[in-house]
Structure 1
Amino acid sequence: MTQLVSILDNDFYKFTMQYAVSKLFPKALAKYQFINRGEHQFPEGFDNKLKEAISDMAQLKLTQGEKKYFKDTCPYIDPIYFDFLQGYRYDPAEVNIQQVGHNLTVEVQGYWYRTILWEVPIMSLICETYYEMTGAQRVANDEVCVIAESKMDKYDKLNITIADFGTRRRHSYQVHDLVIKTLKQHPTKTFIGTSNVHLAMKYDTTPIGTHAHEWFMFHAAKYGYKMANLLSLEHWSEVYRGDLGIALSDTYTTEVFFKQFDKKLTKLFDGVRHDSGDPIEFAQLTIDHYKSQGIDPRSKSIIFSDGLDYDKVETIVRFCEGKIGHSFGIGTDFTNDVGLERMNIVVKMVEAQPEGGPWTDVIKLSDEPNKHTGNKDEINLAKSVLNIND
């Protein structure tokens, strides 16, 4: 039966955001929704299997060893957070799962500081349960390792650094575990860490991540679209004081982001993350922005993380070489390259209720219009307010 083995089997940025939310917005509420982008057909009884797996998550708790590891690894997080996390338990009552025919509905609602941890494990459980119930046969374990090793041999020649970002849409925990073991044993310095905190601890590598789109989406609900990027980054810097300094740029399009990424923030943050749209266009926009602020782009970095494979990475490297720092977060091409169709699913925040305010629709305006998420009327409003035409 599909189940998680650790409360840390989650992406690092979920914990870093949870800490920030608990400090700044402890009374905020949030709603999340599963979006089946790939229109996958879920087999009969899938909802019951998923409910069982979600129910089992209530038993997960931070061990003393995990607490020590996390605390030692992240000295920039106050000790009180690790005490809080040790007492945290997933509450399955926050998750509503329904199935009608082959269509699956999953919704999460509750205090934001609590519900923020659900997204990644729900997605990974949906993927693993789907492959189990459909009976699709993946390649053998040895082949999983060979595929990962052969990719690293090619990446080595590009003289770059790479992290695993593949928890959410992995084939299974077992495949993910095999991939990280292989990458860690690879005899070069190309692999620098993983977004998965549990596997980072297991294989003595670095947990990697900062914040996600929901951080900016909530700020839009509380402060409005024109102030969302600016206040999101101001608040992040208040909490982390210069640590975790990679800024996500595309919640309301990169063009809008750079207009609000003022000189103070441009200097303070180590770089930006690319997660949608054309990576070469993004790289040029980023280089131009740093130059306009009197900053040498080579002193900053772009973390590329949008649907990467070798060919895409090679193209990006050839463009960025000598112009700007660059590193790569590779997801499903590592953790779900097993001879089967990769799932195209997301779980996104859809509403937020800041303290003292009403429930408000939240949206994401990707650099790719077909990846916009949220209420269409709200999307149109945001585009109007931000003067976005696409």
Structure 2
Amino acid sequence: MDSPIIPTLLDTDLYKYTMQQSMVHRYPDAWARMEFYCRTDSPLAISKKQLKRQCEFLGELRLGPEELEWLSTLPFIADDFIEYLEDFRLDPHAVTVEQSNGHLSLVVEGLWSEITHFEIFLLSIISELHGHSFYASGNQDDVIAQGRHRLDEKLNQLPDNSGFTLADFGTRRRFSRDWHYHVVESLKHRLPGNFMGTSNLNLARTLGLKPIGTMAHEWLQSHQVLGNSLRTSQKDALKVWLDEYKGQLGIALTDTISMDAFLKDFDVGLARAYQGMRHDSGDPFVWGELAIDHYRRLGIDPRTKSLVFSDKLNFDKALAIHQWFAGKINVSFGIGTYLTNDMGFSAPNIVLKLTELNGAPVAKLSDSPGKTLCRDEDYIARLKKTFGYQLSAA
């Protein structure tokens, strides 16, 4: 494929811009390293040459006046950040690509505020190039027909206005940009009572939808270096976020270390200030009950707070979670690969994560086995000891 897969710097998730704004304001000189991980052993059906060409295309992108004007309408985006974005460019030289026996090695290094966007763009590109390989065998119509059939079955499963609400979180592992558009447009028109919006800024802008998102693991990981101490890193990250956004974008991500470790830091001040929490690993039912119990112990009515579930969801699982917590706490769902890359073959399970900041390691421990991402075993041991780490769902 020798045409750009990413057409605009808005073809990414909202949290990339909300985090970047905070980076520009508070940590403009922070130097970062991000690394690619494929959680499956099978090689991806793409080449080093293809990926490097797509990186070159990324370097040609600019935000236009209309895109900047639209961004400026979001109440949490600052005027000085819009001015910064007028000159913002991605540097393809920040990306190093290697390939051995079909397996990709991908490293991104540079100023944190400049390279953060590569995560979603590169994952989307890799996912689409992998999906495109199924076109090459001449079965494009069959793949799309299979995708449409599966999507129709899913949308018919949800009763409109049932109180069940979802958002599209499918940018980084989508089958293709065009398919992503079709899925989101279908959700908008067929489930207007259920569909809240999309994390993808370009789709939000072009389809007139609410852009949804707050922070990613990257933000909390970074404060393992940027915070006052390793032990206070989660609190430091959450307090800096509150200072930046003054109560807006108030969903806190809980599993950078573990839910247990997070709740020890999520004191009454933070729990009152944040609108709720997001689940991204571990047993969702256990996690949700832990959140409810925590609010009650702090004297907070859980029914005034929200839980967002976003870990490997399908509709059966999401509907079961919705029913379980009905009347206990407000719940909503961010659904990704199940909607945007369910085409009759296995979607790639890929991530691009922050691994170093200012030359020091950072890590995500998670609440699920196999999701720990750090090559420095000594640092992992130190992190676990500092937080008394154990899996919350164990």
Q: Tell me which interval the TM-score lies in, with the shorter structure as reference length.
A: over 0.9
Q: Which residue is 1:29 aligned to?
A: 31
The answer as to 2:228 corresponding to 1:226 is no
User: Cα–Cα, structure 1 residues 42 and 146, in superposed 2: closer, same or farther, change >3 Å?
Assistant: closer
CA 1:59–1:255: 2 relative to 1, 3 Å: same
The CA deviation at 1:140 is 5.1
Structure 2 residue 168 is matched with structure 1 residue 153 = no
Give the secondary-structure state (helix, strand or coil) at the position aligned to 2:77: coil
Normalised by the size of structure 2, how large is the TM-score? 0.94
Match of 2:179 among 167, 175, 180: 175
Q: Which amino acid aligns with 2:72?
A: K
Q: Matches of 2:77 and 2:236 in 1, distance apart?
A: 20
Q: Deviations over 1:109-150 (max 9, x none)?
A: 000000111100100101111222453646454654453343
The CA deviation at 1:376 is 2.3
1:225–1:386 Cα contact (<8 Å) kept:
no
CA distance in 2, matches of 1:5, 1:27: 28
Q: Aligned AA for 2:280?
A: D
1:287 corresponds to which of 289, 292, 304: 292
| Amino acid corresponding to residue 83 of structure 1 in structure 2 | E
Between the aligned partners of 2:150 and 2:67, the Cα distance in structure 1 is 30
The 5 Å alignment of 1:192-271 reads 192-223=196-227, 224-271=229-276
Checking the alignment, whether the CA contact within 8 Å between 2:143 and 2:344 is kept in structure 1 is: no
Letter aligned with residue 243 of structure 2: E
Q: 1:234 is matched by which residue type in structure 2?
A: K
C-alpha separation in 2, matches of 1:269 and 1:110: 31
Inter-partner Cα distance in structure 1 for 2:118 and 2:126: 12
Q: Go from structure 1 to structure 2 and tell me whether the alpha carbon gap of 1:27 and 1:115 turns closer, same or farther (over 3 Å shift).
A: same
Paired position in structure 1 for 2:127? 127
Shift of 1:38: 1.2
In 2, Cα distance between equivalents of 1:256 and 1:240 = 24
3-state SS of paired residue (2:97): strand
Partner of 1:75: 75
CA deviation profile, 1:46-79 (whole Å, cap 9, x unmatched): 000000011011111111111111111x122211
Q: Does the 8 A contact of 2:247 with 2:274 survive in 1? A: yes
Aligned with 2:389: secondary structure?
A: coil
Aligned-partner Cα distance in 2 for 1:202–1:150: 26
**TM-aligned CA distance change 1:69 to 1:314, over 3 Å:** same
SS in structure 2 of the partner of residue 370 of structure 1 = coil
Q: Partners in 2 of 1:362 and 1:325 — Cα distance?
A: 32
Q: Which structure 2 residues correspond to residues 349-360 of structure 1 after superposition, within 5 A?
A: 349-353=354-358, 359-360=359-360
CA distance in 1, matches of 2:290, 2:256: 16
Partner of 1:365: 365
String of CA shifts for 1:215-235, please: whole Å, max 9, x gaps.
011101223331111011100
Q: How does 1:330-341 map to 2 (within 5 A)?
A: 330-341=335-346
Shift of 1:381: 1.1
Tell me if the contact between 1:41 and 1:103 (Cα under 8 Å) persists in the aligned partners. yes
Give the aligned residue type for 1:3.
Answer: I
Aligned length: 383
Please, what is the CA RMSD of the aligned residues? 1.6
2:66 equivalent to 1:65:
yes
Q: Deviations over 1:347-381 (max 9, x none)?
A: 0011001xxxxx11111010013211112221111
Secondary structure in 1 matching 2:104 = strand
Instruction: Find the counterpart in structure 2 of residue 39 from structure 1.
Output: 41
Residue 28 (structure 1) shift: 0.4
- AA aligned to 1:63 is G
Counterpart Cα distance in 1 of 2:15 and 2:105: 25
Residue matched to 1:116 = 116
After TM superposition, give the deviation of residue 318 of structure 1 in Å. 1.7
* Farther-moved stretch of structure 1 (222-231 vs 49-58): 222-231
Aligned to 2:303: 298
Q: Is the 8 A contact 1:365 1:373 kept in 2?
A: yes
Tell me the CA shift for residue 260 of structure 1: 0.4
**What residue number does 1:55 align with?**
56
For 2:301 and 2:271, the matched residues in 1 are separated by: 11
1:180-222 Cα shifts (integer Å, max 9, x gaps): 1111111532011111000111111011000000101110122
> Is the 1:51–1:97 contact (alpha carbons within 8 Å) kept by the matching residues of 2?
yes
Q: Is the contact between residue 40 and residue 343 of structure 1 (CA under 8 Å) also seen in structure 2?
A: no
Residues 248 and 274 in structure 1, CA contact (< 8 A), matched pair in contact too: yes
Alpha-carbon distance between aligned partners in 2 of 1:149 and 1:60, rounded to the nearest angstrom:
35
Q: Which runs of 5+ in 1 are unaligned?
A: 354-358
**Residue aligned with 1:66, SS:** helix
* Residues 33 and 355, structure 2, Cα contact 8 Å, conserved in 1: yes
- SS of the equivalent of 2:69 reads helix
- Cα distance, 1:39 vs structure 2: 2.0
